[in-house]
């Protein structure tokens, strides 16, 4: 309703108050003050669309405009049209089709994301690998091709997963995969990059407070109208979306990103459950007794890549990597044990009584 009042516009307000001024000067002054207060009320707007293979919603609490939301969603569609590995005609698709036979012109944003993905691949000892594509395609998890591959198929795909075979040439403005059959897949990091981009674009368009939620990859922007810190829920990995494990209390600019087995999984013909977080060392879904890993950071791109990496690495190696990147990390095990590093404990409060906080990790 405050939006409708603001939408009536200064021109309409001006002429109305001028007429009132002549009739009842005192009332006009009071009304004028009230109207100008309404004019200062935070301008809120919501929009939800499908993009990047997930539900993307942007909730602006202050400084909203159609132009800001239009620009944000246009950027999401642009990122999808460039970076999706699963749609024909994207640049990543062209790089994959040209694998083993040459380089493909790639825009600077894609090159930058690929280089950041390669840095994380190096830092994680290959637990995160943007060339995991052949394995992701083989398992087909989340698509109608999903199935448990034969061990021979996995053995054949493993050598094609090789971060050293992804070449990003900044001077030529190209990207290439060294061998036929290699396949780039930025699905583990692109949503985070997209959340950072949306935050940047909203701010450029005068948005003062917003929550960007790209399929559970959440970033808070600016300062809440009530001046209180933001509170971002972490999904309870054992229940349907909506129920919380707990709440993170954060300043604007922070992001909370979770990689969980509940996001994409299927039951194989053998009766076992398989999820979408693949260990490039084995070719099988990472099997560390974990159900989710949440990363709390400022860069959503890093948090997204790290949540995938930390899941594959497990808590021992994973907490060391979280420290190296200076981010908070929350591990949830399948026995409902919860492990957090110091940075996570400072901002995250476990709410659900069904979980057990384990000894602090150094």
Rounded Cα distance, 147 and 349, in Å = 38
Could you tell which of Mg ion, ligand AMP, none binds residue 128, using a CB distance below 5 to 8 A set by kind? ligand AMP
Residues counted in the chain: 362
Radius of gyration of the chain (CA): 24
Q: How far is the CB of 115 from ligand AMP (least distance, A)?
A: 15
Q: State in angstroms the smallest separation of the CB of 126 from ligand AMP.
A: 8
Q: Which does 299 bind (CB under 5 to 8 A by kind): ligand AMP, Mg ion, none?
A: none
Q: Kindly tell me which of 188 and 315 has the beta carbon lying closer to Mg ion.
A: 188
Instruction: Give the x/- contact pattern for ligand AMP in 282-321, rule: CB under 6 A.
Output: ----------------------x--xx---x---------
The alpha helices in the chain, defined as continuous H runs, are 2-7, 9-23, 25-40, 66-83, 91-97, 108-123, 133-139, 151-157, 190-204, 300-325, 342-345
Rounded to whole angstroms, the Cα distance separating 169 from 190 reads 20
Structure tokens at 166: 């992804």
Site string for ligand AMP, 97-136 (x = CB under 6 A): -------------------------------xxx-x---x
HSE of 43 in the Cβ direction (CA atoms, 13 Å)? 16
- Hey, what long-range contacts does 35-38 have (CB within 8 A, 24 or more apart)? 35/5, 38/2, 38/5, 38/6
Could you tell me the smallest distance in angstroms from the CB atom of residue 272 to ligand AMP?
18
Distance, CA of 167 to CA of 186 (rounded, Å):
15
d(CA 60, CA 66): 11
Asked if 276 is part of the footprint of ligand AMP (rule: CB under 6 A), the reply reads yes
Name the binder of 187 from Mg ion, ligand AMP, none, CB < 5-8 A by kind. ligand AMP
Is 184:94 a contact under the CB 8 Å cutoff?
Answer: no
Number of residues near ligand AMP (by CB under 6 A):
18
- List 84, 235, 236, 259, residue binding ligand AMP (CB under 6 A): 259
Cβ atoms within 10 Å, residue 299: 22
Give 21 or 298: the residue with its C-beta nearer to ligand AMP: 298
Q: Sheet with 104-105: list strands edge to edge.
A: 104-105, 174-177, 166-169
CB of 84 to Mg ion, least distance (A): 15
Nearest approach, Cβ of 220 to ligand AMP (angstroms)?
Answer: 19
- The site partner of 215 among ligand AMP, Mg ion, none (C-beta below 5 to 8 Å per kind) is none
Position 280 contacts ligand AMP (CB under 6 A): yes
**CB 187, min distance to ligand AMP, A:** 3
Token couple for 59: 């909730």
Does 278 bind ligand AMP (CB under 6 A)? Our answer is yes
Sites for ligand AMP among residues 162-191 (CB under 6 A)? 185, 187-188
Q: How far is the CB of 303 from Mg ion (least distance, A)?
A: 8
List the one residue out of 235, 232, 214 whose CA is nearest residue 332: 235
Decide if 334 contacts 273 (C-beta within 8 A).
no
Alpha-carbon distance values, 156 to 91, 128, 166, 182, 251 (Å): 26, 19, 18, 11, 47
131's tokens: 């060339």
Residue 216 beta carbon to ligand AMP: minimum distance, rounded to whole angstroms: 8
Nearer to ligand AMP (CB atom), residue 246 or residue 280: 280
Residue 73 binding target from Mg ion, ligand AMP, none, CB below 5 to 8 Å by type: none
277 binds, among Mg ion, ligand AMP, none (CB under 5 to 8 A by kind): ligand AMP
Nearer to ligand AMP, 135 or 347 (CB): 135
Where do contacts with ligand AMP occur on this chain (CB under 6 A)?
128-130, 132, 136, 185, 187-188, 259, 263, 276-278, 280, 304, 307-308, 312
């Amino acid at each position: 309703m405050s939006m409708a009042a603001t939408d009536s516009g200064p021109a309409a307000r001006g002429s109305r108050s001028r007429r009132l001024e002549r009739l009842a000067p005192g009332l006009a002054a009071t009304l004028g003050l009230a109207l100008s207060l309404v004019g200062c009320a935070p301008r809120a707007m919501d929009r939800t669309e499908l993009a990047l293979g997930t539900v993307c919603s942007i909730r602006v609490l202050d400084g909203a405009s159609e132009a800001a939301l239009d620009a944000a969603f246009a950027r999401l569609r642009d990122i999808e049209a460039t970076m999706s590995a699963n749609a024909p005609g994207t640049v990543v698709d062209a790089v994959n089709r040209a694998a083993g036979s040459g380089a493909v012109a790639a825009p600077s944003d894609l090159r930058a994301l690929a280089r950041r993905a390669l840095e994380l691949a190096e830092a994680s000892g290959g637990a995160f690998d943007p060339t995991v594509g052949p394995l992701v395609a083989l398992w087909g998890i989340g698509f109608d091709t999903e199935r448990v591959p034969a061990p021979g198929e996995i053995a054949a795909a493993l050598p094609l997963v090789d971060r050293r075979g992804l070449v990003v040439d900044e001077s030529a403005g190209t990207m290439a995969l060294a061998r036929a059959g290699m396949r780039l897949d930025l699905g583990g990091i692109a949503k985070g990059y997209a959340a950072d981009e949306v935050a940047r674009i909203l701010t450029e368009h005068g948005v003062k407070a917003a929550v960007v939620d790209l399929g559970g990859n959440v970033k808070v922007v600016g300062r809440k109208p009530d001046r209180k810190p933001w509170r971002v829920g972490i999904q309870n990995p054992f229940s349907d979306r909506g129920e919380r494990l707990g709440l993170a209390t954060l300043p604007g600019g922070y992001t909370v990103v979770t990689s969980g087995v509940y996001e994409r999984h299927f039951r194989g013909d053998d009766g076992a459950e398989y999820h979408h977080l693949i260990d490039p060392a084995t070719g099988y879904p990472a099997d560390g007794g974990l159900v989710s890993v949440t990363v709390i950071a400022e860069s959503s791109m890093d948090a997204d890549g790290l949540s995938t990496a930390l899941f594959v690495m497990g808590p021992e190696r994973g907490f060391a990597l979280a420290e190296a990147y200076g981010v908070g990390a929350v591990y949830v095990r399948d026995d409902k044990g919860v492990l957090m590093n110091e940075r996570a404990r400072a901002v995250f409060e476990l709410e659900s009584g069904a979980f057990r906080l384990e000894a602090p990790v150094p």
